[in-house]
Structure 1
Amino acid sequence: MITTARLRHIAQINPGTPAFDKLDAGDDVTFLPMEAVWPDSRLDLSRRRTKKSVITGYTRFQDGDILVPKITPTFQASRAVLIGGLHSGVGAGSTELHVVRPGKSIDPRYLLYLFHTHSFLKLGEAEMYGVAGQQRVPDDFLRDFPVPLLSLAEQRRIADFLDAETARIEKLVTSLQRELDLLAERRAAGIVEAVSGSAHTDRRSSTLAWLDSVPTAWPEVRLGLLARMGSGHTPSRSRPEWWTDCYIPWVTTGEVWQVRDDRVEDLYETREKISELGLANSAAELHPAGTVFLCRTASAGYSGVMGVDMATSQDFVTWTCGPRLVPHFLLWCLRAMRPDLLGRLAMGSTHKTIYVPDLQMLRIPLPSVNEQKEIVQTIRRQNNRIDSLTDRVRRQQELLRERREALITAAVTGQFDVTTASGRNVTEGVAV
């Protein structure tokens, strides 16, 4: 029977870094933002920055430490990482990190794999405290976590085995990610080809920044001549009577998640609503079903079509189409031009904003109404095919990640002998 020891007896928890204090005031140290330890539990030093060693208010660590995220969702996603390659051997990062410094009796790689086991993650989740979405893993959970007392030689055998096996799995996951990237590129290219009339052979150069060419017979028309442009507003929050009996769907930036992946075209439900009184006492207006909306701040560039009558906040611009323009054709034009909207027209470094005067000057290619409808159907058919393939590849990735977690758990808990398992495909026999 394998005995265990509390983690605090074989490692230091949040110990501080004396080497940090020995640096001169002008020395640079590595600063790691959370995104540097986010992707696939690997340290991405390409995202590192340097700061002067006098920085305070951050978690300090050194080469050889293991960083364990405190907060959801990074803890739940098993984002613990072994640190190495820091400038001057020391670094600093978010206060939302636990630092574990392995002692002489524990192999750092073996301990890192323990932090990736199903049991560690589930026990940690059970100990979390705080409000939903901002829950944290307490220090005491780490200090009291039971670690199997294996010999260093056995720990290293397990770590070596898992290094090799997880590398194979990660190689497959990376290969599948390349497939996903190619599918996304093909999907985007197919939309551009469709709205630019790629089936037509008689073509001319386009005057639009986001298209190379269009059919010779298609005019390129300013959107304002084809649809009535509108926007929205937020009724004053200081007037509570304007926020009672709210039932009118109200599109805010909180709804962008519904249309972010471009699979959803029509929006029918909103989490927030406004009242008739609020609508009457603000610059918001009730737009008819079929109105196309585009977010121009925060999550700029995302668009959809109103499935029912709706109002919007001031973060959106809307177009109510006239008889020459099919709303869903306009929608796919806006989605095709999104890279251009964000790259050429959006302003700001952190939060992009597309300003109304620029949107008033937008132009689109204009085939006949019947051809617009045919193009919309073509886009839907080709997207359905690509989305089906995308879902299958994503499911394969999920299964591989589940296999990885199950393999790690099985190896460190002694469910099989890694010595006899080495060199064969053990993932086939690991339960998930």
Structure 2
Amino acid sequence: MDYFGDLRRHEVKPGDLLIAGLGDENHAVGRACVAPSDLGPSIVKADCFRVRLDQSRLLHRYAAWALSSSVVSGQVLTLTRGSTRARINLEVARDIQLPVPSLEEQRRIADFLDAETARIDQLALKRRQMRNLLTLKRERVIESTLGLERAQTTDGLVPLKYLVADVTVGIVITPAKWYVETGGTPALRGLNVKPGFISTGDLVQISAEGHAENRKSRLNTGDVVVVRTGQAGAAAVVPAELDGANCIDLIVVRPGRKLSPRYLQYVLNSGYASARVTEHSVGSIQAHFNVGAMKQIPIPSIPRTEQDEIVRLLDLRAGALDLLDRKLNHQEQLLTERRQALITAAVIGQFDVSTASGRNVTDGVTA
């Protein structure tokens, strides 16, 4: 509190207008809100601007909505700087132009958007809660089908190393020295691997020399790659289109003939395996999982034919839940788009907010 006293000129009080000077792909630079009444002693830091307007001309509540509209955020985007994250400074923030209707109209717009966005936000929250429940149900279905709910002892479980052909690790020592912009070999990193699938949207490439020097980390179709750092334990089967690629700081499991790659993927992404990965991960900032611990994870030892049948059942059972999750996610996206369209339409005066309902005013409006 003594230091807070020294920084009093940066203080935030309830009702102040706050503008974000930094943005990313999910959060627009220049977005704004009004400081809530229960915030408590607070200050602004760099990349967050406190604004106190002449509210006899421009209300903070209305200004926050106007700054969050598409028409203003598009304007702000043209003023941004920064190669990796959109950023504006205080001088740019001062030059943002807002539509300024009468004070009474500002109040009506703010009241309307407070009520209608709260309705949309509540619907979105319900979708997220349903998705969380689906995630829990999916985990239970997988563990039950795998028979891992009863895996409290090591009966019927064998360390992974005895069931697979090999367990190795991707490039660990200064992988960046092999990076090339074009003409190289794709290389998977931890951020490319999610539970059950591989994202190829942000692949790096390594040179022919680096690929030749790191033969042991070359990937084959059907290998299972496992994240070591960050989302430790997340596992995915290497698809045919990545056959011959390389990898960086990933554990590579080569299943061999005893294990179905898809079966192993389901096991490693289960709550049962996640608990063991967490137990054997090290690192105070990011969880880090090593090859030795991977080899020791107990895996059900069952015939390959049984594994294939379990995969078939899980594809049906988990697949139905995944389809529902995708539908709920799509609904969330539509609600987000509708919310943004509603804000923009209200701010630029496309309808009379004193007589409108948010459920019938955004048809044809582009967010």
What TM-score does the superposition give when structure 1 sets the normalisation length? Answer: 0.72
Aligned equivalent of 1:297: 229
> Within 5 A, what are the aligned runs for 1:313-392?
313=248, 315-336=249-270, 337-392=272-327
Q: What are the ranges of 5 or more consecutive residues in structure 1 without an aligned counterpart?
A: 1-23, 30-52, 199-203, 209-217
Aligned equivalent of 1:115: 67
User: Which is further off, 293-302 or 342-351?
Assistant: 342-351
Larger relative contact order, structure 1 or 2 (CA cutoff 8 Å, min sep 6): 2
User: Which is further off, 226-235 or 111-120?
Assistant: 226-235
CA distance in 2, matches of 1:114, 1:279: 52
1:12-39 CA-partner distances (Å, limit 9, x unpaired):
xxxxxxxxxxxx635xx5xxxxxxxxxx
Aligned equivalent of 1:7: none
> Within 5 A, what are the aligned runs for 1:20-419?
25=2, 29=4, 53-54=5-6, 61-73=12-24, 75-76=27-28, 79-84=31-36, 85-88=38-41, 90-93=42-45, 95-105=46-56, 106-131=58-83, 133-196=84-147, 206-207=152-153, 219-227=156-164, 228-234=166-172, 247-256=184-193, 260=194, 262-264=195-197, 271-275=203-207, 277-281=209-213, 284-307=216-239, 308-313=243-248, 315-336=249-270, 337-419=272-354
Task: Tell me the CA shift for residue 272 of structure 1.
Answer: 2.9
CA distance in 2, matches of 1:239, 1:168: 52
Q: 1:182 to 1:79 in 2, by over 3 A?
A: farther
Contact 1:267/1:305 (8 A) holds in 2: no
Aligned residue identity for 1:91 = I
SS at match of 1:128: coil
- Number of residue pairs matched? 356
Q: 1:178 to 1:335 in 2, by over 3 A?
A: same
Segments of 4+ moved more than 6 angstroms: 237-240, 242-246, 266-270
Q: 1:405 to 1:248 in 2, by over 3 A?
A: closer
Aligned equivalent of 1:38: none
Q: CA RMSD in A?
A: 3.2
CA distance in 2, matches of 1:409, 1:267: 33
Q: Give the % identical residues.
A: 27
SS at match of 1:418: coil
Aligned residue identity for 2:160 = L
Q: What are the ranges of 5 or more consecutive residues in structure 2 without an aligned counterpart?
A: none
Task: Tell me the CA shift for residue 373 of structure 1.
Answer: 0.8
SS at match of 2:2: coil
1:263-287 CA-partner distances (Å, limit 9, x unpaired):
52x6889823445543554584434
CA distance in 2, matches of 1:148, 1:116: 12
Pair member with larger Rg: 1
Q: 1:274 to 1:114 in 2, by over 3 A?
A: closer
Q: 1:229 to 1:341 in 2, by over 3 A?
A: same
